[in-house]
């Protein structure tokens, strides 16, 4: 947070405080068609549920469109919105939900309205590819932001002044961006936890049958074929072999043999397209699987280490610490103490 910025400080207090005396949050959700019921529901359903859970209207929300007319949905049908964006009342938060970078009829009007809300110190958010329109309006310049993996390459080329990450969601001062899909639910629950307390968010998460609330720093899982294109089937096959052999890791020579390449050819592919050494890439796959098991199961640390291809508990712990900066035991203890994963 920039020092001396009283407006930014006020926004932080408004965003991240579980003070019961705070006024209700007024949340507007701008729908840029076509949208899905899932995309809309992951925003407004948890807000509706937390109101019922708290027994009060802690969150006022409404859906908006550019012209106030119903918004087309994927698969047919329409979503009837409450108002046009230009007619929206005073808001604390404006989230732009877009699931395709489709043409907006009145782009100039959208850009102008987004800048007006930015000047009013409204918290602006982009959901799925909604970040694209915030970036186009210039209101993400100098901010960390994320977008759905399918648009990351194009976004990075188009908006160089935005600090793009591949995280599930980003919260940077008065800007919130999210990769969409199930990650939107993580974002909304995270924000609820910051305002109402982690116990309230954890209770709501359990009601939704979620194993945990994923933290903003967690990465989107980008399909390998989308990272390297479809021109390297041997590389894709090698990675699929690794993912299928976590408990008993294959040797590099085994993998090369199964995909029909020499060891040198295979290692060259990993370096060229994944900027990694094969053995390191395989180790990271196993460690990420271990971390997932630590956070979502009650298996012992030794069991998890063995199931992810480590020969002993000490070997697993030392390797895990070298990669993540803390031991498996510390990782699990931190989660147990917080009750919900809200690390940023």
* φ, ψ dihedrals at 128, nearest 5°: 65, -110
Q: Evaluate if residue 7 carries a pLDDT over 50.
A: no
pTM of this prediction? Answer: 0.69
- When the pLDDT of each residue in the chain is averaged and rounded to a whole number, the result is 87
**pLDDT attached to residue 21:** 61
* φ, ψ dihedrals at 261, nearest 5°: -130, 160
**pLDDT attached to residue 152:** 86
pLDDT tens-digit readout, 62-93: 999 999 999 999 888 999 999 999 999 999 99
Percent of the chain with pLDDT over 70: 88
Higher local confidence (pLDDT), 292 or 141: 141
pLDDT tens-digit readout, 12-30: 445 555 555 678 999 999 9
pLDDT (mean) for 222-242? 79
**pLDDT attached to residue 340:** 40
* φ, ψ dihedrals at 273, nearest 5°: -105, -25
pLDDT tens-digit readout, 244-283: 899 999 999 999 999 999 999 999 999 988 888 999 999 9
* φ, ψ dihedrals at 179, nearest 5°: -75, -10
Straight-line distance from the first to the last Cα atom of the chain, in angstroms, rounded to the nearest whole number: 15
Structure tokens at 246: 């976590």
Higher local confidence (pLDDT), 169 or 292: 169
Helix segments in 197-247, DSSP class H: 198-207, 224-228, 233-244
**pLDDT attached to residue 227:** 66
Cα 137 to Cα 123: distance, rounded to the nearest angstrom: 14
Residue 319 CB coordination number (10 Å): 18
Cα 318 to Cα 20: distance, rounded to the nearest angstrom: 43
pLDDT tens-digit readout, 181-207: 999 999 999 999 999 999 999 999 999
Q: Evaluate if residue 5 carries a pLDDT over 90.
A: no
Q: Strands, DSSP E only, in the chain? A: 25-32, 59-65, 71-72, 78-79, 83-84, 93-98, 123-128, 144-145, 163-164, 169-172, 175-178
pLDDT (mean) for 209-226? 80
Residue 129: name the closest of 96, 159, 98 by CA: 98
Distances (CA, A) of 208 to 54, 107, 322: 16, 37, 35
- List the domains of the chain with CATH numbers: 6-207 (3.40.50.880), 225-338 (1.10.10.60)
């Amino acid at each position: 947070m920039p020092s001396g910025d009283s407006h930014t400080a006020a926004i932080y207090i408004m965003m991240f405080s579980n003070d019961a005396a705070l006024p209700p949050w007024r949340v507007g959700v701008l729908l840029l068609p076509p949208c899905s019921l899932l995309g809309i529901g992951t925003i407004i359903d948890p807000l509706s549920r937390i109101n019922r859970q708290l027994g009060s209207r802690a969150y006022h929300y409404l859906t908006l469109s550019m012209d106030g007319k119903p918004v087309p949905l994927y698969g047919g049908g329409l979503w009837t919105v409450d108002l046009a964006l230009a007619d929206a009342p005073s808001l604390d938060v404006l989230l732009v939900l877009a699931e395709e970078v489709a043409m907006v009829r009145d782009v100039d009007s959208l850009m102008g309205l987004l800048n007006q809300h930015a000047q009013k110190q409204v918290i602006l958010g982009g959901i799925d590819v909604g970040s694209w329109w915030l970036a186009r309006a210039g209101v993400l310049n100098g901010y960390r932001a994320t977008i759905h993996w399918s648009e990351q390459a194009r976004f990075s080329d188009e908006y160089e002044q935005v600090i793009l990450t591949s995280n599930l969601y980003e919260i940077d001062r008065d800007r919130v961006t999210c990769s969409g899909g199930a990650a939107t639910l993580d974002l909304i629950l995270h924000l609820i936890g910051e305002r109402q307390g982690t116990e309230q968010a954890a209770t709501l998460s359990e009601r939704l049958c979620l194993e945990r609330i994923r933290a903003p720093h967690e990465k989107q899982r980008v399909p390998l074929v989308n990272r390297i294109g479809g021109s390297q089937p041997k590389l894709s096959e090698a990675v699929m072999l690794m993912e299928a052999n976590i408990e008993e890791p294959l040797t590099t020579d085994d993998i090369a043999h199964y995909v029909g390449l020499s060891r040198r050819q295979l290692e060259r592919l990993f370096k060229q397209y994944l900027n990694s050494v094969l053995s390191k890439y395989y180790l990271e796959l196993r460690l990420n699987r271990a971390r997932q098991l630590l956070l979502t199961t009650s298996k012992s640390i030794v069991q998890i280490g063995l199931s992810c291809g480590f020969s002993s508990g000490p070997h697993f712990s030392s390797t895990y610490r070298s990669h993540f900066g803390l031991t498996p035991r510390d990782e699990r203890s931190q989660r147990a103490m917080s009750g919900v994963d809200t690390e940023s």
